[in-house]
Amino acid sequence: MFRGQILSRIGKNRFFANFCSLGNGERPSVNSVAGISLLKSEPVSSDKLSPGREHVISYLVNSCGLTLEKAVSASSRLHFVSPDKPNDVLLFLEKHGFSKPQITELVSRRPKLLLSNPEKSLLPKIEFFLHSAGFSETDMVKTFVKYPRYLTRSVEKLFAPVYEYLEDVVGSRKAGILLSRGSWIFDRGLHKKLIDNVAFLRELEVPQRSIQYALYHYPHVVTRDLESFKKIASEVQGMGFNPLKMSFVVAMHSRTGKNSRVIWERCYETYSSWGWSKDDIHLAFRKYPNCMLLSEKKISRFLDLVVNKMGRDSRSIAQIPNVIAYSMEKRIIPRYSVLRHLFLNGFVEKDWSLASVICPAEQKFLKKYVKQYLKELPQLLSIYEGETNCGF
């Protein structure tokens, strides 16, 4: 009932529904009684609407393509009397390659964009992406739609200085990818933390390629305050990580931030529950830092197979912890099924090497353990491909 009341009241202000049509001039179908598009929407809450919000809702639905539900929600963050400024924004976006659905998405997520000054506020961002960062118009539009907050950021204070700095450190291609991925490093700006942290890594003689990797994959790590950054670096050094190796910055990532530490502790408890000692866990961490960022379910499922199906000591996996990250369905189970069949038919010993089976690339595995036995065991390939049920 309340939805009908909204539609009825908006219908009294029908002229607000005709502010702006995009593209080829097509317009949504308009209900002759309500004067508003009959777009699919969820039930609207019974908030009381001021007359000003009714005008805004009508505009958002008919000119911007929002559903009634989203228009009501967006109207609480948006106010205008004249449609002139929103019209200018919509026409500007269309002129610069944004489609109707993309404009709808932008307005839905950032309603206040409709109050922007296109030439002063939006154009500098578009020109930066196209000319300085070298984006195509298509990629530029996709990036803004995916990360609409970019349209509210300063080119002079954020985009330009950060991008130029990253160009020097990681190169233009990776700097552009970071920008297209919505890296939060562009929100934080080229502040003293980033510069000081990179300088500190260089003092530790961390190789340039490791610094590039950290900036590219873990920007949240290198934008921490310097004292915290130094503490984490000292901590991972104390665990035996060499700053000269790539694993050093990966280990810093795994020990940075509250969430990473919570995951680290959960992983620690899970490995311990399978009989790993502190030394086992630290050995695995040094060999493969990401083993402390896996889910407890994944760790337990893998070690359950190792212990209860393969009959191996779970602690032996600390020597090759990277295998825990492999896919159970695509790699671990198919390969174990093959080796189990080979063992049952007397072609391999019971203590076959787990590393030699799980680690090699697929073609090497197939050549060594499948193809050479197909004459004697023709069903081996179907076992590997999962066509034969092996009880998993």
What angle separates helix 2-11 from helix 51-62, to the nearest 10 degrees?
Answer: 90
Q: Is residue 314 part of a domain?
A: yes
**Residue 18 reports pLDDT greater than 80:** no
Q: Are residues 90 and 60 in the same domain?
A: yes
Looking up tokens 């080796």 gives 339
Where is the domain boundary, 84, 114, 144? 114
**Terminal-to-terminal C-alpha distance of the chain:** 55
Residue 109 in this model has a pLDDT that exceeds 50:
yes
- Pick from 246, 240, 327: nearest CA to 284: 240
Determine the pLDDT at residue 218.
87
Domain annotation covers residue 65: yes
Least confident of 2-6, 111-115, 228-232: 2-6
Residue 263 has pLDDT above 80, yes or no: yes
> 2 and 86 in one domain?
yes
Total domains in the chain come to: 3
6 and 100 in a single domain? The answer is yes
Q: For 285-317, how does the pLDDT look when each residue is reduced to its tens digit (9 = 90+)? A: 999 999 999 999 999 999 999 999 999 999 999
Distance between CA atoms of residues 311 and 305, nearest Å: 8
Question: Do 342 and 305 share a structural domain?
Answer: no
Q: CA-CA distance, 143 to 341, in Å (whole number)?
A: 50
Mean pLDDT of 255-279: 91
Integer CA distances (angstroms), 200 to 233, 238, 240, 325, in order: 10, 17, 19, 31
Choose the final residue of a domain: 325, 357, 381: 325
Residues 348 and 372 in one domain: yes
The answer to whether residue 148 is domain-embedded is no
Last residue of a domain, one of 114, 149, 179: 114
At 220 the pLDDT is 83
Range of the domain at 282: 257-325
pLDDT of residue 77: 87
**12 plus 74 within the same structural domain:** yes
In three-state secondary structure terms, 49 is coil
The rounded distance, in Å, linking the Cα atoms of 194 and 184 is: 12
Tell me the pLDDT tens digit for each residue of 46-93.
Answer: 345 565 688 899 999 999 999 999 999 988 888 888 889 999 999 999
pLDDT tens figures, 23-51:
444 433 333 223 333 333 344 443 455 65
Q: Are 197 and 229 in contact (CB under 8 A)?
A: yes
- 178, part of any domain: no
The answer to whether residues 12 and 66 belong to one domain is: yes
299 & 383 share domain: no
Q: What pTM, to 2 d.p., does this model score?
A: 0.66
Residue 171 lies in a domain: no
The verdict on residue 320 lying in a domain is: yes
Beta strands in the chain (DSSP E): none
Position 82 in a domain? yes
Percent of the chain with pLDDT over 70: 85
Digit-coded pLDDT (tens) for 316-340: 999 999 999 999 999 999 999 999 9
